[in-house]
Amino acid sequence: MVAQNRRARFDYEILDTVEAGIILTGPEVKSCRMGHADLSGAYVSFTNGKPMVKHMKIAPYQYASPVANAEPDRDRQLLLKKGEWERLAAAANEKGISIIPLEVRAGKFIKLVLGAGRGRKRLDKRHRIREREIGRRLREGKDV
């Protein structure tokens, strides 16, 4: 795993996950492998029938020429199978559900793990924090 969007799992209740390929330039791939990808504020939208990740920042590769480096936060096209694409598009059309990139993985190819999530309310977040604190205290052996 190269980069992770930790805030997404806190702000959203993840209902479904899909692994997708992403179209990158050569310097972007090298920069991703070095861990210079940022998913904070990124989301997936469908423009002209193609899934695109928006506001994902990949820092310019430091050893490439300035001409070769693309914009750090340009829109990038995702590569999905037709069934996965249709499932995500149907989920995105539902009210209150967003498609969020959760993590970037680098193996032979750079992959993006996407999650269909429903936004959590502020009260739900507080409840989750309280449960986590109680669990910690129980593991440490302290009284609750």
What is the phi/psi pair of residue 29, to 5°? -60, -45
Name the 3-class secondary structure at 14: strand
pLDDT at 101: 95
Instruction: Tell me whether residue 99 is in a domain.
Output: yes
Instruction: Tell me whether residue 136 is in a domain.
Output: no
CA dist list (Å): 47 to 43, 44, 144? 13, 10, 50
pLDDT at 69: 62
Instruction: Tell me whether residue 20 is in a domain.
Output: yes
Domain boundaries, position 85: 3-119
State the total domains in the chain.
Answer: 1
Could you tell me which residues are beta bridge partners of residue 54? 43
Question: Residue 100 belongs to a domain with what CATH number?
Answer: 2.40.280.10
pLDDT at 103: 93
53 within 8 A of 101, measured Cβ to Cβ: yes
Instruction: Tell me whether residue 8 is in a domain.
Output: yes
Instruction: Tell me whether residue 9 is in a domain.
Output: yes
Instruction: Tell me whether residue 141 is in a domain.
Output: no
Name the 3-class secondary structure at 28: helix
Instruction: Tell me whether residue 130 is in a domain.
Output: no
Q: What is the pLDDT along the chain (144 residues), one digit of tens a residue?
A: 888 998 888 888 899 899 999 999 888 899 989 989 999 989 999 888 889 999 999 988 888 777 666 778 889 999 999 998 888 888 888 888 999 999 999 889 999 999 999 988 877 788 888 999 999 999 888 765
pLDDT at 68: 62
- Classify the C-alpha dihedral 37-40-44-47 as positive or negative: negative
What is the phi/psi pair of residue 61, to 5°? -70, 125
What is the phi/psi pair of residue 126, to 5°? -65, -40
pLDDT at 113: 95
The token duo for 59 is 């820092």
11 Rama class: left (phi>0) / alpha (psi -120 to 50) / beta = alpha
Instruction: Tell me whether residue 133 is in a domain.
Output: no
46 within 8 A of 61, measured Cβ to Cβ: no
